[in-house]
């Protein structure tokens, strides 16, 4: 029995990491790795490491890459029984270049997930995990790699009204897709400072100011991070901040997913708001400081 649903991208991450600084057009030696990724899958893998049993709702192609990916997910202890497998769509992929300063550039090819649309939600509607008569009441981690239309549907869907909905934009380029969750006011948003600014059509230099602005727009709860600067957890009951530990950064990809997963796991296990924020920041620091060379 799963503890939480993770809805969104499940794909292969292809990451190139250079130990030297890079600029536009640079050609450097380094390491290239391929491993299971995607926001929903990254969150699920982290949740599993924190002792939970996540189930995935996504789209994975019926190709060799998809078969390999699902075998890898199963070996990691994740529930893949409800993943939609379209006949004609390939398995999605994410490609990124990093150097010691962080992410240089990335391309996310999540077209299969977007084309699959509402098909990935069938288990929440057909009685497998929930239905109109028996709505799903557990925790859902949702990522913004879904289409704006589908996210709008989820934000207003009565069959998900009783769920503890936790939402992340996946990337700054998709932050605006979360706008429907501001108006509905029934989700917890996990954003970085840039994403908060995009949602508010503003520019922020402080996470507390950003959190206050998102709450003013109707958000029920928001967690705003900004690298090594203080993070903020904001609700109608007030704001609280936490300082990330100081570490040497070796990787950036997946940091936001790790933060979200650690925070959710801490609260599912009974931690209060301040403790959950501290635990999430500590877990993220451990993630980004892990040497991948």
Write the CATH number for 73.
Answer: 3.40.1190.20
Proportion of the chain above pLDDT 70, given as a percent: 99
pLDDT at 292: 59
Q: Residue 177: is its pLDDT beyond 70?
A: yes
Calculate helix-pair angle for 39-49, 255-268, nearest 10 degrees. 50
**Residue bearing tokens 């706008």:** 179
Proportion of the chain above pLDDT 90, given as a percent: 73
How many folded domains does the chain comprise?
1
How many CB atoms lie under 10 A from the CB of residue 135? 17
24 domain residue, yes or no: no
26 domain residue, yes or no: no
8 A C-beta contact, residue 222 and residue 215: yes
Q: Residue 13: is its pLDDT beyond 70?
A: yes
Domain that includes residue 227, residue range? 4-19+31-288
pLDDT at 26: 86
25 domain residue, yes or no: no
Q: Predicted confidence band at 132 (pLDDT cuts at 50, 70, 90)?
A: confident
114 domain residue, yes or no: yes
pLDDT tens sequence across 66-123: 999 999 999 999 999 999 999 999 999 999 998 888 788 989 888 999 999 999 999 9
Nearest partner of 41 among 133, 117, 122, 108, judged by Cα: 108
For the chain, give the secondary structure using H, E and C. CCCEEEECCCEEEEEEECCCCCCCCCCCCCEEEEEEECHHHHHHHHHHHCCCCEEEECECCCCHHHHHHHHHHHHCCCECCCCECCCCCCCCEEEEEEECCEEEEEEEECHHHHHHHHHHHHHHCCCCCCCCCCCCCCEEEEECCCCHHHHHHHHHCHHHCCCEEEEECCCHHHHHHHHHHHHHCCEEEEEEHHHHHHHHCCCCCCHHHHHHHHHHCCCCEEEEEECCEEEEEEECCEEEEECCCCCCCCCCCCHHHHHHHHHHHHHHCCCCHHHHHHHHHHHHHHHHCCCCC
293 domain residue, yes or no: no
pLDDT tens sequence across 213-266: 999 999 999 999 999 999 999 999 999 999 999 888 877 777 888 999 999 999
CA distance 40 to 6: 5
228 domain residue, yes or no: yes
């Amino acid at each position: 029995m799963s503890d939480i649903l993770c809805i969104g991208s499940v794909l292969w991450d292809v990451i190139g990491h250079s130990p030297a600084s890079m600029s536009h057009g640079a050609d450097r030696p380094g390491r290239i790795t391929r491993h299971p990724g995607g926001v929903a899958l990254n969150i699920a893998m982290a949740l599993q490491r924190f002792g939970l049993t996540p189930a995935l709702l996504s789209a994975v192609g019926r190709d060799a890459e998809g078969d390999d990916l699902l075998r890898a997910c199963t070996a990691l202890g994740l529930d893949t029984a409800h993943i939609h497998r379209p006949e004609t769509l390939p398995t999605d992929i994410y490609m990124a270049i990093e150097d010691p300063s962080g992410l240089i550039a990335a391309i996310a090819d999540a077209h299969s997930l977007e084309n699959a649309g509402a098909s990935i939600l069938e288990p929440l509607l057909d009685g497998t995990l929930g239905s109109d008569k028996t709505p799903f009441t557990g925790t859902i981690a949702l990522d913004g790699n879904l289409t704006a239309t589908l996210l709008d549907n989820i934000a207003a869907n009565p069959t998900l009204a009783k769920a503890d909905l936790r939402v992340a934009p996946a990337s700054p380029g998709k932050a605006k897709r979360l706008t429907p969750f501001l108006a509905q006011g029934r989700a917890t948003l996990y954003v970085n400072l840039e994403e908060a600014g995009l949602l508010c059509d503003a520019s922020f230099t402080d996470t507390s100011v950003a959190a206050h602005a998102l709450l003013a727009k109707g958000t029920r709860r928001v967690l705003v991070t900004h690298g090594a600067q203080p993070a903020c957890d904001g609700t109608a009951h007030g704001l609280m901040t936490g300082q990330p530990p100081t570490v040497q950064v070796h990787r950036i990809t997946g940091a936001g997913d790790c933060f979200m997963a650690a925070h959710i796991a801490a609260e599912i296990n009974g931690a209060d708001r301040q403790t959950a924020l501290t635990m999430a920041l500590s877990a993220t620091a451990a993630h980004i400081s892990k040497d991948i060379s």
